[in-house]
Amino acid sequence: MMLRVPILFRYLLQEITPPFCVNLLVFCCIFLISRMLEVTRLIVNYQMDIFSVLRIVVHSIPSFLIFVLPMSVMMGVLMALLRLSSDNEILAIKSGGVHICRLLPPVLCFSILGCIVTLFMTVYGAPASRMATKQLLFQVVSSNLNVGLKERTFNDRFKGVMLYITTIDPQTGVLKHLFVQDHQNEKNIRTIIANKGKILSDSDTGRFQLQLFDGVINQVDQDQTSVYSVHFDKYYFNLDLNQLFKKAQKESQKSYKEMSLKELKNSLKPSYYDEEYGLRLMEYHKKFAIPFACIALSLLAMPLGIGTQSQRRSFGVVLGLIFFLLYYLLLSLSNGIAESSGLPVVICIWAPNIIIVALAIYLFVRAAQEKSFMISLPFRK
């Protein structure tokens, strides 16, 4: 015999799902658009192919779903209840002798489902995607040296060499207007200025050379206290890449943000105490506190949707965004307090959820008692 789902339960879930899906799609698009500048930089400056860029974009999805899912769950609940309230369906439900507490189970069911998905992202999705992105960028650095160079910046990533490049042609890889200071031999410091250059690699030997065109070499001999200047049409300069690759390899290693839940928990043992212990402890609690925001924010959305009278759907969107931003403002504030004060990390990280739930309970009790609470915006008529 099949278990029958109550009509009100099923009806409310059907009302919540469409606005949730729309908000999820819209917020995902907004986050992806915000990444376009970084994607353009990867293509132009890092000379990455489209496939690698798409992989990085895909890897970034779990990281912003951590924030998008709680926002979308809240907006779905809020907009569904605002519609029911504005169409007097909430009033009809009350008139039928149904207490508004009967609206709580479908909202909790939906928010718990969102919490589980967000928890999967914080525990597994985001750490794995961040690590995959780091490893991909390291592979790009290893295969294309120009990735490690920046325009109009003194690059000191090469051992004993300071390199300044005015312009890097993303199509040809040609370096324009170069300044090179070679102090590998402290007694014979060389300064090289060239109009153009290009980095050459030998796949057999693994050696890299800087091919320079139309420039001048100024060499200082400290023993003889003299300076020599030589003009050249073409000059080859050997590069030591050990320092560059070691730095890229270090940056590609797993940090506490890329750790799995088990690794993070093991790193919190007293024997692993160091300067990042507090940050690891914060990251551990955030893996659970942020998913719980789905439940906290949806509980807050219930009295806001039931007790707020507005004919404008846009008002619901603005209202939801205000409280969502309030939550993450509290979360950012609690992070700062946890880092700078001696307060327990668990209290600081969970404080925003506690505040939101307390506010939700207060407003829900007032809504259940049919006591009004005024929420108004300046542009409302």
pLDDT tens-digit map of 157-201: 667 788 899 988 877 778 899 999 888 777 778 899 999 998 876
How confident is the model at residue 378, as a pLDDT? 47
113 pLDDT above the threshold of 90: yes
Q: Worst-scoring range by mean pLDDT, 89-93, 211-215, 334-338?
A: 89-93
Residue 377 has a pLDDT of 45
Can you give the pLDDT at residue 178?
92
Give me the pLDDT at residue 381, please: 45
Mean pLDDT, residues 80-92: 84
Q: CA 322 → CA 22, 108, 157, 296, 375, distances in Å?
A: 18, 22, 45, 15, 12
Please list, in sequence order, all residues whose beta carbon lies within 8 angstroms of the beta carbon of residue 85, skipping any fewer than 6 positions away.
305, 306, 308, 309
CB atoms within 10 A of CB 226: 9
Q: What pLDDT sits at residue 32? A: 85
Q: Which of the four pLDDT bands, split at 50, 70 and 90, describes residue 309? A: low
DSSP 4: P
pLDDT value of residue 47: 64
Q: Which residues is 189 bridged to in the sheet? A: 220
Provide the pLDDT for residue 2. 41
More confident residue, 201 or 273: 273
- Confidence at residue 18, expressed as pLDDT on a 0 to 100 scale: 94
Contact 294, 320 (CB under 8 A): no
Q: Which residue has the higher pLDDT, 243 or 130?
A: 130
What's the whole-number average pLDDT of the chain? 81
State residue 374's pLDDT score.
52
What are the pLDDT digits (tens) for 6-63? Answer: 888 888 999 999 999 999 999 999 888 887 777 777 666 566 777 878 888 888 889 8
Closest CA to 263 of 99, 131, 154: 131
Work out the average pLDDT over 250-261. Answer: 69
Would the pTM count as exceeding 0.85?
no
Most confident listed range (111-120, 136-145, 209-218, 259-268) = 111-120
Measured at the CA of 308, the angle between CA 305 and CA 309, to 5 degrees, comes to 115
Q: How confident is the model at residue 311 (pLDDT cuts 50, 70, 90)?
A: low
Mean pLDDT, residues 111-116:
96
The pLDDT assigned to 356 comes to: 94
Q: 315 is written with which tokens? A: 């008002």
Query: Tell me, what's the pLDDT at 1?
Result: 35
CA-nearest of 2, 33, 24, 140 to 75 is 24
